[in-house]
Structure 1
Amino acid sequence: MHQPQDNRWHCQHEGCGRSFTRHEHLQRHVLNHADGDYTCDRCRAHFKRPDLLERHIARHRRKDAEGGQLMTRKRLWKDVDGSIVAKRPSLAKAGEPDLPLSPPGSNSETRTSVADQETHDLGLDLTDELFWQSSMPPVYDSALDNQLFDDIFLPDTASSFNMPYTTQSNYNWLFDLSTPPAPIPLQYSQPMVPTATMVAPQADALPSPSTTSGSKNGHEVNLSTINSVTPRLEKDQGTRSSDDQGAERRSTQRRDLPTLRDTTSLAQALVEKPLGLLSPQVQLPRLDELSRERILGLLECLSPIMPDGSSMCFDDPLLSLASMQSYLDLYFTRFNTSYPLIHLATFEPNEAEPILLVAVLLLGATHADKSAHQLAVCIHDVLRPQIFSNPGFNAKPELWVLQTILLTECLGKSRAGQIQHDMSHLFHGMLINLIRRSDCQIARADTQESTREDLDKRWRTWAELEQRKRLAQICFVMDVQHAVLFSQSLCMSAFELRSPLPCHQAVWEASSPAEWRVACAQQKKQPPLLLAVLKAYLTTPDATYRAALDSLSRRIVLHALMSISWDMTRRDQTSLRVIDGDISVRSWRDRMSKSYNAWKEDMDFFVQHETNKTSDQAALRVSTGLCNPDRGTQEPNPASSLQSALPQQGYEDFIVAYGSLYHAAQICLLAEVLDLQIYAGARHILGRPVTRADYTRSQKVVKRWANECSDSAASAAWHSAMILREASQRSEGIVAHSYHHPWVLFLATLTIWSFFHARPLPPGLSAADDDEVIWNPKEHMHALLEHMNTTPLDKLAVKWPQSGRNCTVSLTAVVVDWLSKVRWGVIHDGMAVLKGLISSRLINEGGESI
């Protein structure tokens, strides 16, 4: 060791070549080449220097104090045999690999800290273990699911604190195909098949439906006959091993009736009820007169003005205790079931902050009658200043402040008029900044057993953290919806949500600490990390690599995919390369489309599996005498709540609401929805008027899309037809629980109208056919949807309905009738656009009603 003229100390170890400016750094570095033997007794991490072991143990102590788990960046370990290995040994179950780490930060390749130098001194690649080995069995270590990401993968200081943008290295990690992500098992015994052929055939990316379905009509959708339209799924089914097929045959054979103990265990199995409560008999929070007085006191300070200009009368029956209780019940049965934000079991109205309580009641009142809805909007208009003037509002507010702001924004965006919608957008960025400052996007709720505190305290601590995590994730969901569907700016990135997905519904709705502990034990594994699942959908063609998620987690994953698509579209529009390597503009769009299809297939199978499971449980209760339908007796606990947990109407609302969102995501990938709105005659977009130049530009864009990009246009029209076909099979057309569904119907109608009206009529169809009066709009609409469903995709752009451009009139009229029942100002603006597309003389007003 010597110091040459360049004033740097060089390592003399053969093949190393490292140099340092200080001699003590070189001395410490030389120990890396020695045969040091220092091992952590807790996690078996192996070090060659004692100072590194001491620092590692100190991190353990710090994490213990914070109630977390340590995620070390070590790449050497000592296994149970005393051998030094490059893979972390499992301390619980053998053969279970670690989860992949987070995507690297923007400067992860150029970090020059001493710790990173020491790692590179050993010739180790920091990304060596970012992914699971494909040879591992399809299981993962649940003990590591909730571990936060290593600090070497945190973004740079600027993006961490005030510029949470996505970087090229994020996308390089997300789309890296060199090594597949960890296998995240489906954990289902049935084969991986969807319940319907609702996964779209994509132009140039997937074969046409005529070549993939079992009939000539490639778009045939049959819920009773299961077919796949994606070659990947057919390959999965065709390459199944004989052992797997045999196992399936054995699983479908009738088994001996279980004992009472077995039946009780089956009855206690975790079930789900998307967009609803597991048990209708759940005890909802109760308001008392004291809580009402606190609410009235706050309303007196707010001094809301009624629509007629008068002051609010506090003796109004709409403000009675019974009315307020009904609003509270509606919140927890209508809104909180769709967007589970507030933990019902620990919510105490008597202890809640009055502003939060008012925000909850207002959102519930929007689901009551029209007069209560109108009252809620009037109070909403004066509530936001009161939030900002509250002492609890600061740069790092408490959970209740964030919940109040989010609920206020939800009402303004999706349950009020255009003015409230625009105002909510103005304050949307502020809410996201507060969420970042409060670390909600990285919150994690640990359900692991601990003896350091009593059960009730652990339950309430867990509920607080779970609500923080869900707050960020639900805010992200709404941010993505308004960015993708309404063409607003995307404010949150999926890469910010470095937290696990939400817990199971049974764990969330446990009504007591004891029930919570039982549900946690039945959940078995902690929810996986969102980014790990997101990467699996984008890079893994095999369904066995994707996680078995619950309904809420699946919705969040779909929105994460939509956010990636939106961000990459905008990057393309600014002529920036998104990712390195072979991922071109066309290929990433194909990848996104296939990822959407994979999500839809998994969701269809999930719904089929859950409904089959609950049906089997119901039949088993009858066969074993737990429930006697002839005598009408109540089944004993713990199976008493199972009947209420079974989906009474199946999963119809969930399928329609989020199946439509899947199709809408595909539409937004294939077309520019803003141009479709302007071409259809929208007079205001994003809060500003549409000019003649705007219309001229959008007209050119849409006509070029419909004529020159006919494959994309046909695919978008097909997805739109699927949305409207599903809605037409419902009596009311719209899913009341879903805030996005009415707007999706509007976009689907515009897409179909633009598809037919932006193209010239074929030679064999005269314009005179457009003047025929429509006597039965519903029948005419179903004929159009059937035409689009049965026509092969490659023929859809050239095969017209007999009614020509007149084919969309009935469809538009029926959708207008559906939307007229929605109390949302933005939807009524959309209705005005649709009404402009209808020639009223062509609709028979005196015949059958729409």
Structure 2
Amino acid sequence: MSGTEIHESKKRKRIHGTFACEHPGCDKVFTRIDRLTRHKKNHDPTKRHICEWPGCGRDFVRNDVKEKHYKKHLTNTLNNHDSNYIPANLGVNKSGEESFPMNNSNLLNSIEENIVPAKNNQDVPDSKLSPADLIEWLFHEDTFNGDRLYQSNEYANFPGGYSPVSFTESVLAAPSPQFPFIYDNRKFDDTIREKLIRLIPSLDQNPDFENSKIEKYFQTYWLVYHPQYPILHRPTFSYYKAEPLLLLAIIVLGSSLIKCTGFVEIYSFDNTQKLAEEIAGPLRWLIFSSSDCRPPAKLYIIQSLLLLESFEITSTSRFLHERSFLYHGTKIQLLRRSPILGGDPLNKCNEDNHPRLWEQWIEFESMKRASFMAFYLDTVNAAVYGHTLILYAHQIKLNLPCNEELWEFDNQQSLNESTLRLKNPKFLDTLKRLLNRERIEISAFSKKILLAGLLTIMFQMQQKDLQLSFLEWDSMKEPWKETISLAIDVWRYQMCPKGCCDTQSALSTKPGAEDMLPPMLKKEDSRCKFSLYHIAQISMRISHYDYIIYAGAPSRMNVSVSSSEYKAVSERVIAWAGSVSGGTGVVHAYLFLFEMFLSPSNEDITYRYNPNHDPFLHRKNIIASALLVIFAYNFSTRGPENDIYEVGKSIEYYPEKEDGYSYLQRIRKAFLKEDKLHLSEYEDSYYIHNTIKKYANIVANIPGRNNMVGLLKLFYNSFKNSEWEIGYEYSKLFRNCIERCLGKQSIQCMDMYSNDAF
């Protein structure tokens, strides 16, 4: 039988003929069997579908009939000019407080038909849809026909009705589960080193590619990267069993991050950044050329690509930075075409305590974590660099990762009873609960994933606003921003009860391992650990394109900026700076810099910052974005600090009116006079949200906020020695902003992208 014949034989065919309903007293006859099947539902008294519209309550035996009926209610309301008639279950509060979505799936079936009318401007309803409606619409599965990372039943191949939770429970409940712990005390030896050198021969001549040093790179990976992103299973990791490509990807990150550890041995290394780049350059092509890099891709392929991207996008040359983004979509497509495990994961398990049961679960959970990591990186890259989003929250049909105690479990320790009872809920269900301000308890890794989910909703709504602008339906824009902004503050209140500077909220560490962490990851470090929170609130209000072009970048994503394009950007920035949205955005930029450079409790203590030593890979980029947002806001409204610039003189020649630390302390004092936003004690999410609103209302009236030369010099001096090219480019853009604050008339930083230091 040919492939075409097989395909045709599997098609579901409609059977024609004469088919009578056999229900007593019914004389209906149909010409197709599927219509008879649908008709029989009318005779089933056990399944009734009630219309939830307030005051209606009609019941139906068929859900499709009920939903058609429900649509009539909604259409009448949307066309009703009396704004006082708003049913309660639409999630709208008539007094104007914030609104959140109610669990009404029927609303979703019709919202797409009414959110964007299919005719001309005159057909747009006068009343705006509520933010709750817009958010709820985003989660409606039938609305989206595009690719999903996984189907709604993520483990469709489980036999006997196993769910992911019951699979985990069956593993843990086994009488004596033979956990596949690898107790391997052997050091990284010449045998493994030779395998890696065969892949990249030049490594044999690199003085930093010695066995003892390579072990330090692995130690760095587990100390610095793994607590932030626990996507590898540490208890079963082995030099000897891991694929060489994955070992190389780990070495890339470990050698790049070793500067963050404070290891005394670092002084005996030659140039670990050079080693990381020497491996990263050919590694992507080695991965792509592997026979395992095709659908369905092996787990180690996805993991290697994720680790490599983490380095390329944040810590190396512009060439590798751009290459990472160009091939980011390839990794996503591999995930979309890769089933989790594939087939029956229990087909080799004859007994509950078979060792393969644990191994299957570990591989299963690893692939899930890799998928979430891909989603997270996609979102962060969009927020930090303005890249195009590829994955959206509604496409992720996975349960959240298991708790970290279970993930770090090995056969040398026992799991407590609470861990055995802990469930890992669906990602989308948890995201909806967060939007409804319900209490959520999840792991540190899952906290990052949920924040990324909120950001994807934000970006999706921004895209819809652009579409509405194109169609000149501006009256329907932006009713969603307050809801999403508050939801992000709800996230901060729930996920970071001691503030976004709390280390324990941000890291997944084994009990007792905290003392081994590098200095900037220890709980005593009071600097921000969730910089994505601040850039999320900023990105909602001003685009990366606008603030980097306004600062003087001559091009973005390899496309030059013309004078007319700069003029359009300038007009948008000026309008933004004069709005409430501008005030809120710049307040978040200030709050982030306060957390990074000022002590929360002692005005005499300030922090130095070296971007090369930052263990949080994206934080250095977000610092640069926050500074450029502050420049755009203040320069567009107050102009330069001084008018003393002379061509040819170094910026160090010019005095500043205020040094950077004093400037930040003065702005913070102005905020605290209005209301105190404590770092460790919040009344609730509304307190955070409303306090930031108060700051936004007063920031425009703070005197001398355009005295930014000292602040910009502080960042210029720390970024000019960056070991990653994007950071060095930022330093030149900061220099350009300093010169403009001193009175320079030319706008663009023409040498920003010249790689004179690389």
Tell me whether 21-30 or 380-389 shows the greater mean CA deviation.
21-30
Q: Please name the residue that 1:21 is paired with.
A: 31
List aligned pairs for 1:159-238, cutoff 5 A: 171-174=135-138
- 1:546 aligns to 2:439 (yes or no): yes
SS at match of 2:236: coil
Q: Which of 689, 698, 702 matches 1:796?
A: 698
Deviations 1:98-121 (A, max 9, x none): xxxxxxxxxxxxxxxxxxx99648
Task: Report the Cα distance in structure 2 between the residues aligned to 1:329 and 1:486, rounded to whole angstroms.
Answer: 30
Task: From the superposition, tell whether residues 663 and 124 of structure 1 become closer, same or farther in structure 2 (CA, over 3 Å).
Answer: closer
Percentage identity across paired residues of the two chains: 23
On the 8 A contact 1:16/1:121 being kept in 2, the answer is no
Q: Please name the residue that 1:808 is paired with.
A: 708
**Gaps (5+ residues) in structure 2?**
1-15, 51-59, 71-88, 90-108, 110-131, 141-182, 260-269, 599-605, 646-653, 675-693, 744-758
Size of the alignment, in residue pairs? Answer: 568
- 1:435 aligns to 2:335 (yes or no): yes
CA RMSD of aligned residues (A): 4.7
Deviation at 1:665, TM superposition (A): 0.7
Q: Which of 494, 497, 501 matches 1:605?
A: 497
Deviation at 1:21, TM superposition (A): 2.9
Letter in 2 for 1:22: R
Deviation at 1:288, TM superposition (A): 2.2
Task: From the superposition, tell whether residues 725 and 547 of structure 1 become closer, same or farther in structure 2 (CA, over 3 Å).
Answer: same
Task: Report the Cα distance in structure 2 between the residues aligned to 1:640 and 1:337, rounded to whole angstroms.
Answer: 12
Task: From the superposition, tell whether residues 31 and 782 of structure 1 become closer, same or farther in structure 2 (CA, over 3 Å).
Answer: closer
- 1:786 aligns to 2:669 (yes or no): yes
Q: Please name the residue that 1:372 is paired with.
A: 272
Letter in 2 for 1:295: L
**Gaps (5+ residues) in structure 1?**
1-5, 36-47, 49-74, 77-84, 87-116, 128-132, 134-152, 154-167, 177-281, 301-311, 614-638, 844-850
Task: From the superposition, tell whether residues 643 and 671 of structure 1 become closer, same or farther in structure 2 (CA, over 3 Å).
Answer: closer
On the 8 A contact 1:441/1:496 being kept in 2, the answer is no
Letter in 1 for 2:362: A
List aligned pairs for 1:228-267, cutoff 5 A: none
- 1:670 aligns to 2:572 (yes or no): no
Q: Which of 310, 314, 321 matches 2:211?
A: 321
- 1:292 aligns to 2:184 (yes or no): no
Q: Please name the residue that 1:703 is paired with.
A: 574
Letter in 2 for 1:553: S
Task: From the superposition, tell whether residues 602 and 645 of structure 1 become closer, same or farther in structure 2 (CA, over 3 Å).
Answer: farther
Task: Report the Cα distance in structure 1 between the residues aligned to 2:718 and 2:711, rounded to whole angstroms.
Answer: 11
SS at match of 2:238: coil
Task: Report the Cα distance in structure 1 between the residues aligned to 2:703 and 2:345, rounded to whole angstroms.
Answer: 55
Deviation at 1:732, TM superposition (A): 3.8
Q: Which of 327, 340, 343 matches 2:233?
A: 343
Task: Report the Cα distance in structure 2 between the residues aligned to 1:725 and 1:428, rounded to whole angstroms.
Answer: 33
On the 8 A contact 1:494/1:563 being kept in 2, the answer is yes
SS at match of 1:830: helix
Q: Please name the residue that 1:574 is paired with.
A: 467
Deviations 1:731-758 (A, max 9, x none): 3446822111111111111111111110
List aligned pairs for 1:768-779, cutoff 5 A: 773-774=656-657, 776-779=659-662
Q: Please name the residue that 1:828 is paired with.
A: 728
SS at match of 1:360: helix
- 1:33 aligns to 2:43 (yes or no): yes
Deviation at 1:793, TM superposition (A): 3.0
- 1:689 aligns to 2:586 (yes or no): no
On the 8 A contact 1:589/1:669 being kept in 2, the answer is yes
Letter in 2 for 1:478: L
SS at match of 2:708: helix
Task: From the superposition, tell whether residues 27 and 418 of structure 1 become closer, same or farther in structure 2 (CA, over 3 Å).
Answer: closer
Larger RCO, structures 1/2 (Cα 8 Å, 6+ apart): 1
List aligned pairs for 1:140-159, cutoff 5 A: none
Task: Report the Cα distance in structure 2 between the residues aligned to 1:495 and 1:456, rounded to whole angstroms.
Answer: 35
- 1:528 aligns to 2:425 (yes or no): yes
On the 8 A contact 2:527/2:595 being kept in 1, the answer is no
Deviation at 1:779, TM superposition (A): 2.5
Q: Please name the residue that 2:359 is paired with.
A: 460
Q: Please name the residue that 1:731 is paired with.
A: 607
Task: Report the Cα distance in structure 2 between the residues aligned to 1:655 and 1:556, rounded to whole angstroms.
Answer: 21
SS at match of 1:695: helix
Task: From the superposition, tell whether residues 789 and 640 of structure 1 become closer, same or farther in structure 2 (CA, over 3 Å).
Answer: closer
Deviation at 1:505, TM superposition (A): 1.6
Deviations 1:293-331 (A, max 9, x none): 11112212xxxxxxxxxxx36243311111111111112
Deviations 1:636-656 (A, max 9, x none): xxx994886999976466971
SS at match of 2:574: helix
Q: Please name the residue that 2:634 is paired with.
A: 756
- 1:509 aligns to 2:408 (yes or no): yes
Deviation at 1:667, TM superposition (A): 0.9
Deviations 1:203-234 (A, max 9, x none): xxxxxxxxxxxxxxxxxxxxxxxxxxxxxxxx
Q: Please name the residue that 2:380 is paired with.
A: 481
Task: From the superposition, tell whether residues 643 and 283 of structure 1 become closer, same or farther in structure 2 (CA, over 3 Å).
Answer: farther
On the 8 A contact 2:193/2:211 being kept in 1, the answer is yes
On the 8 A contact 1:442/1:497 being kept in 2, the answer is no
Task: Report the Cα distance in structure 1 between the residues aligned to 2:273 and 2:323, rounded to whole angstroms.
Answer: 18
Task: Report the Cα distance in structure 2 between the residues aligned to 1:552 and 1:444, rounded to whole angstroms.
Answer: 28
TM-score (norm 2): 0.65
Letter in 2 for 1:354: P
TM-score (norm 1): 0.59
Task: From the superposition, tell whether residues 24 and 474 of structure 1 become closer, same or farther in structure 2 (CA, over 3 Å).
Answer: closer
Deviations 1:509-555 (A, max 9, x none): 1233x64x6257525221111101111222x1xx4x23112221111
Task: Report the Cα distance in structure 2 between the residues aligned to 1:451 and 1:355, rounded to whole angstroms.
Answer: 33
Q: Which of 236, 247, 254 matches 1:357?
A: 247
On the 8 A contact 1:777/1:813 being kept in 2, the answer is yes
Task: Report the Cα distance in structure 2 between the residues aligned to 1:350 and 1:319, rounded to whole angstroms.
Answer: 18
On the 8 A contact 1:702/1:758 being kept in 2, the answer is yes
Task: Report the Cα distance in structure 2 between the residues aligned to 1:572 and 1:463, rounded to whole angstroms.
Answer: 42
Deviation at 1:480, TM superposition (A): 0.4
- 1:720 aligns to 2:720 (yes or no): no
